[in-house]
Amino acid sequence: MSAQLQLEKYSIGVGDRFAHQAKAQLEACIQAEKAGVVVIPVWNKSNREHITIGSEPVSTRAAADAAVREQGWKKSYYCDADHINLETVDRFLSSCDFYTIDVADLIGRPAEGASVEAFVRRHPELQGSIKIEGIERSLAISKEELARIAGKYLAAAHHAGAIYARIAKEKGEGTFITEVSMDETDSPQTPVELLVILAALADEKIPLQTVAPKFTGRFNKGVDYVGDVAQFSQEFSLDIAAIAHAVKQYGLPGNLKLSVHSGSDKFSIYHSIYEATQKSNAGVHLKTAGTNWLEELIGLAEAGGDGLRLAKEIYTDAYAHREELSRPYSAVIDIDAKKLPEPKEVDQWTSEQYTSALRHDQRSPAYNPSFRQLLHIGYKVAAHMGDRYLKLLEANEAVIAKNVTENLYARHIAPVFLGKRP
């Protein structure tokens, strides 16, 4: 199984909700290349985000194309139809060449008994003791355990196959990159489960190039990882080994790699990712998204005047609608309402007070993770402002772009791909 269009070893998903920061984001990749590593940008935007903003996928493509042209970027770049399913994929077909097939909602949906039995018969190699290079102990899977895991994931794999077939029919085999994600679910997948999942996806003839499992710990939006870093590090390395085994066993693309979703700002695990990929010579895709929008807010607040006033207004509105805004993101945020400042207090803040509370600098006593998370999910407020918000982005482009580039390069690319401590 092979794919003509191949995702490079290192790549980063860059969200740009209002399609104004592609040039500044690309500048971070240019800086990475100057520092000695090629990191390919993948502009990602989900159907939910397009609906919230009132945009179409073509706008993401247009912004990326313009940035590449203006910056003279000669390497690859992609546009990702993020978290699509059969109901939403069609609107992305003309604009995207990277598809994140989201099957998290299908995990645990009972598969047909005959389907499970057929899978177990088809994969005797998954039963008993499995020796995987890079894993000291052999993995042991009984026939009963294999049937249980297959029953949990086969419906999701079949659905992924149906979505892939829909895209391939329209665009042609080998003309796009496929990722399968299952991170937005309750429990993490073990390396054994990942191996079974990969076998099932190979059965579906999906030329998978990245896979996004759910890891142990909390991957909340826009803030640091919450969990046992040592456990994550071990799990990440085991998953790399399981992927390498599946590539050889099932003929999956040789560049298949892990994708870390909600990867923005997970500073405490970045060195673990770097060490694991360097040790195994594996690639990685780091998917970031809403961090970019927060850098826009930081830039507006730094600019002062109308920019600061608008940033304060966005917080006031987000605070008033915090329950409504939180509902779609309940699984990936932990906002302590008691730690949210009152809008009347924020209204008196200076630029420095606002940016210090919002910027993800854990060394600063003013940094407020709850404030940051609420604004992270509050982009809907800015979307409702329409041109008023966009015109201020354009008027303050220089200060915003500086923040966007610095955040993406220094806090994300440099630690994950160059091993530099933030």
Q: Return the sign of the alpha-carbon dihedral for residues 31, 35, 40, 42.
A: negative
- Assess whether pLDDT exceeds 60 at residue 4: yes
Tracing tokens 């008993």 back to the chain, one arrives at 128
Q: What is the mean pLDDT of residues 134-148?
A: 92
Asked if residue 24 is part of any domain, the answer here is: yes
Range list of H helices, 72-142: 113-122
Q: What is the pLDDT of residue 2?
A: 43
- Whether 29 and 62 share a structural domain: yes
Q: What is the pLDDT of residue 204?
A: 98
Confidence category of residue 186, pLDDT binned at 50, 70, 90: confident
Asked if residue 230 is part of any domain, the answer here is: yes
Q: What is the mean pLDDT of residues 92-109?
A: 96
Asked if residue 149 is part of any domain, the answer here is: no
- Assess whether pLDDT exceeds 70 at residue 49: yes
- Whether 206 and 326 share a structural domain: no
Question: Cα–Cα distance between 408 and 250 in angstroms, integer?
Answer: 36
Q: What is the pLDDT of residue 290?
A: 73
Q: What is the mean pLDDT of residues 277-304?
A: 95
Question: Cα–Cα distance between 380 and 21 in angstroms, integer?
Answer: 17
Other beta carbons less than 10 A from residue 360's beta carbon: 21
Q: Which two tokens stand for residue 348?
A: 């008196």
Q: What is the pLDDT of residue 201?
A: 98
Asked if residue 318 is part of any domain, the answer here is: yes
> Nearest CA to 29 among 361, 359, 417, 296?
417
DSSP 218: B
Question: Cα–Cα distance between 59 and 406 in angstroms, integer?
Answer: 24
Question: Cα–Cα distance between 178 and 251 in angstroms, integer?
Answer: 15
Percent of the chain predicted with pLDDT > 70? 99
Range list of H helices, 72-225: 113-122, 143-171, 191-203
Widest distance between CA atoms in the chain: 68
Taking phi over 0 as left and psi of -120 to 50 as alpha, with beta for the rest, 152 belongs to: alpha
Question: Cα–Cα distance between 140 and 157 in angstroms, integer?
Answer: 22
- Whether 58 and 175 share a structural domain: yes
Asked if residue 121 is part of any domain, the answer here is: no
Question: Cα–Cα distance between 130 and 148 in angstroms, integer?
Answer: 17
Question: Cα–Cα distance between 341 and 356 in angstroms, integer?
Answer: 13
- Whether 265 and 327 share a structural domain: no
CA angle 100, 102, 108 (to 5 degrees): 155
- Whether 304 and 278 share a structural domain: no
Task: Specify the number of domains making up the chain.
Answer: 2
- Whether 285 and 390 share a structural domain: no
- Whether 369 and 379 share a structural domain: yes
Per-position DSSP letters for 363-409, written without gaps between them: T-TT--HHHHHHHHTTHHHHHHHTHHHHHHHHHTHHHHHHHHHHHHI
Asked if residue 227 is part of any domain, the answer here is: yes
Range list of H helices, 287-368: 291-303, 305-320, 322-326, 343-346, 351-358
CA-to-CA dists, residue 50 to 55, 261, 380, 421, angstroms: 5, 18, 11, 34
Q: Which two tokens stand for residue 20?
A: 């104004």
- Whether 348 and 225 share a structural domain: no
CA angle 167, 172, 177 (to 5 degrees): 65
Mean of pLDDT over the chain? 96
Q: What is the mean pLDDT of residues 263-279?
A: 97
Which CATH number does the domain housing residue 190 bear?
A: 3.20.20.70
Q: What is the pLDDT of residue 1?
A: 44
Question: Cα–Cα distance between 62 and 106 in angstroms, integer?
Answer: 33
> Nearest CA to 263 among 82, 107, 98, 121?
82
Helices 291-303/369-376 angle, 10° precision: 110
In the chain, how many H helices and how many E strands?
A: 18, 10
Confidence category of residue 3, pLDDT binned at 50, 70, 90: very low
- Whether 35 and 179 share a structural domain: yes
Asked if residue 138 is part of any domain, the answer here is: no
Q: What is the pLDDT of residue 299?
A: 98
- Whether 301 and 254 share a structural domain: no
Tracing tokens 């987000």 back to the chain, one arrives at 318
- Whether 95 and 217 share a structural domain: yes
Confidence category of residue 298, pLDDT binned at 50, 70, 90: very high
CA angle 106, 107, 112 (to 5 degrees): 75
pLDDT tens digits, one per residue of 317-344: 999 999 999 998 888 899 999 999 999 9
- Whether 251 and 301 share a structural domain: no
Q: What is the pLDDT of residue 113?
A: 84
Question: Cα–Cα distance between 244 and 283 in angstroms, integer?
Answer: 11
Asked if residue 5 is part of any domain, the answer here is: no
Q: Return the sign of the alpha-carbon dihedral for residues 124, 128, 133, 135.
A: positive
Range of the domain at 365: 292-406
